[in-house]
Amino acid sequence: MRGAQAAPAQPAAGGVCTTLVCRPTSVVFNHCGTFVAECGATSAAQIEQQFSLPGFETGFDLDGTSDTFATDRNAFLNPGGRNLRFSIAPPAGVSARQFADQVIFFGNNYPTTPYRLFGPNSNSAAAYPIYQSGGVVPNVPRAPGLNVFAP
C-alpha cells in the first residue's frame, strides 16, 4: 500500500498517535520528522518521542539540542501553512500503542548510514521506523529520499 496520501484516522485525543511532519527547508525541499505523541497534542509535554535527523548527521538528535529538532517540534505543534502533517495508522491487527512502541524501538535503533542529499538522509531516517514497524509512509511532495527504506 505504499504511496497512500493519507492514513485512516487514529484514536481520539488522549490515545497515542504516530505522525510524520514535513516542513519546508527552502522553496524546493521538505524535511520530515517522526513524532509519537498523545493524539491531538498541543504542547511539547505531550510528545513521547521525536525523531529528527539534522542535515548531514548520521543519527537522530534524541537530546533536543539541534535547530532541526526545535524547528521540527515547532512544525508539529503548529500544523498548517506550509507544514504538512500525516497521521500514520498502525498495520491491521496492531494497536496504536503497540505500533508506537515499535516506532520508538526502531527509531532508537536507527542504523548509522552515510548522509546523501537524495538518500539516505533526514527524510529516509524519519520514514525508517515507520517502515520497520509495518506502517505506510505517504507520498510527500519535495521530500527526497523519503522512500529509501521502503519495503
The pTM (predicted TM-score) of the whole model is: 0.90
DSSP letter string, 53-102? --TT-SS---S--SHHHHHHHHHHHS-BTTBEEEEEPPPTT--HHHHHHH
- Are 133 and 102 a contacting pair, CB within 8 Å? yes
Q: What is the mean pLDDT of residues 51-60?
A: 94
Structure letter (DSSP) for residue 15: S
Which pLDDT tens digit goes with each residue over 70-113?
999 999 999 999 999 999 999 999 999 999 999 999 999 999 88
